[in-house]
Amino acid sequence: MKRRESGKNVLNQYPADSGVEKAFKAIGIISLILPVSLLLILIIDTTADGIPRLNWSFLTSFPSRFPEKAGILSALVGSVYLIGLTAFIAIPLGIGAAIYLEEYARKNRITSLIEINISNLAGVPSIIYGLLGLGLFVRIMSLGRSLIAGALTLSLLLLPMIIMAARESLKTIPQELREAAYALGADKWMTIRKVVLPLGLPGILTGIILSLSRAIGETAPLITIGALTYIAFLPESLTSPFTTLPIQIFNWISRPQKEFHVNAAAGILVLLIIMLLMNALAIWLRIRLQKRNV
């Protein structure tokens, strides 16, 4: 509030700037309205197309050549398994790496080299990870086109993002708190466990869930490692073949029959709902944990 008032005073002194500010504000509003309304149009359009198709049997049926009988069971379960497994692999590794880099690693050339590499990896297109996964997990480690190969590939994709988010969060914890813990006689492990991690957790969790919601919409790396399109059974083990929601949606959209496009719209809605739930969980967790810390 205060800042704005002082800003006004400045404007009074230099009235020529007020036009610039207005223009800037207008640009800001436009750049907000444009993407939001585009998104709204997309969501409304998809909802209108997909809602009539969205029912229990759509969620519990396998794909079929009859659009009205086709469902997303194998894709939905595949996506849930895949994300669960990916989280299981990527979260401990990611948080561990971040804690090491922030708390233990000495600041020297090698550390900064690793840091630069991690930031660069976060920007690598996801299909590259798919090719890596195909070579490494599917072929060399001969895991085949399995759930575990998919989860490992997605974990590689997510790791840089999780590490960066976790590190940013750990960085915001004031050094004084660590020093206070040492002053009370805590050792390094104790400090990390009792002070650093609990305080960093809200930020870490938000980062993790946001990157997981990105992973659930990934298609390219999974197609590359050979996730399938038609599967009428559910994965039974880590080495089972699988399919995911985005792949099923993509397949339906490219069919000639309009009824399949309706199925695709309904599938998009399911994917959207899952992502919204995940994001809502992230926000809820952050608010809750922050409250506790204060």
Partner 1 sequence: MGKKVKKLLIAMTSLAIVLMVGCRGSSDRSVESGRKDFSGMVLIDGSSTVFPITEAVAEEFQREYPGVRVTVGISGTGGGFKKFYAGETDICNASRPIKESERRECEKNGIEFIELPVAFDGLAVMVNPRNDWCHSMTVQELKRLWEPAAQGRILRWNQIRPDWPDEEIHLYGAGVDSGTFDYFTEAIVGKEQASRGDFTASEDDNVLVQGIATDKYALGFFGLAYYEENKDKLKLVAIDDENPENGVGPVLPTEETVANGTYQPLSRPIFIYVRKDSLENKPQVEEFVRFYIRNAPALVKEVGYIPLPARAYELVMRRIDNRVTGTTFSGSKVGLSIEEIIGK
Tell me how far CA of residue 209 lies from CA of 91, 151, 270, in angstroms. Answer: 10, 16, 18
Tell me how far CA of residue 6 lies from CA of 10, 26, 37, 83, 138, in angstroms. Answer: 6, 21, 34, 49, 62
Candidate ranges 28-36, 115-123, 155-163, 254-262; the one touching partner 1 (CB under 8 A): 254-262
Rounded least distance, CB 242 to partner 1, Å:
9
Looking up tokens 């004084």, which residue turns up? 176
Q: Which of 186, 253, 275, 278 binds partner 1 (CB under 8 A)?
A: 253
Does 81 contact partner 1 by CB under 8 A? yes
Cα–Cα distance measured from residue 212 to residue 214, given in angstroms and rounded to the nearest whole number: 5
Does 63 contact partner 1 by CB under 8 A? yes
Q: Which of 52, 84, 96, 125 binds partner 1 (CB under 8 A)?
A: 84
Rounded least distance, CB 54 to partner 1, Å:
19
Burial class, 114, CB count within 10 angstroms (exposed 0-12 / middle 13-18 / buried 19+): middle
Residue pair 242/235 in contact by the 8 Å Cβ criterion: yes
Closest to partner 1 by CB, 118 or 289 = 289
- Which 8-state DSSP code applies to residue 136? I
Tell me if residue 239 falls in helix, strand or coil: coil
Distance of alpha carbon 288 from the chain centroid: 20
Does 258 contact partner 1 by CB under 8 A? yes
Does 190 contact partner 1 by CB under 8 A? no
Does 268 contact partner 1 by CB under 8 A? no
Does 197 contact partner 1 by CB under 8 A? yes
Cα–Cα distance measured from residue 163 to residue 227, given in angstroms and rounded to the nearest whole number: 27
Does 256 contact partner 1 by CB under 8 A? yes
Does 289 contact partner 1 by CB under 8 A? yes
Candidate ranges 89-97, 119-127, 151-159, 228-236; the one touching partner 1 (CB under 8 A): 228-236
Rounded least distance, CB 260 to partner 1, Å:
10
Does 257 contact partner 1 by CB under 8 A? yes
Tell me if residue 234 falls in helix, strand or coil: coil
Tell me if residue 166 falls in helix, strand or coil: helix
Does 25 contact partner 1 by CB under 8 A? no
Does 65 contact partner 1 by CB under 8 A? yes
Does 186 contact partner 1 by CB under 8 A? no
Q: 247: closest CA among 65, 44, 74?
A: 74
* Residue 80, number of CB atoms within 10 A of its CB: 14
Does 117 contact partner 1 by CB under 8 A? no
Does 233 contact partner 1 by CB under 8 A? yes
Cα–Cα distance measured from residue 216 to residue 151, given in angstroms and rounded to the nearest whole number: 11
Does 226 contact partner 1 by CB under 8 A? yes
Using CB under 8 A, list all residues that contact partner 1. 60, 63-65, 77, 80-81, 84, 144-145, 197-198, 201, 223, 226-234, 236, 241, 251, 253-258, 261, 285, 288-289, 292
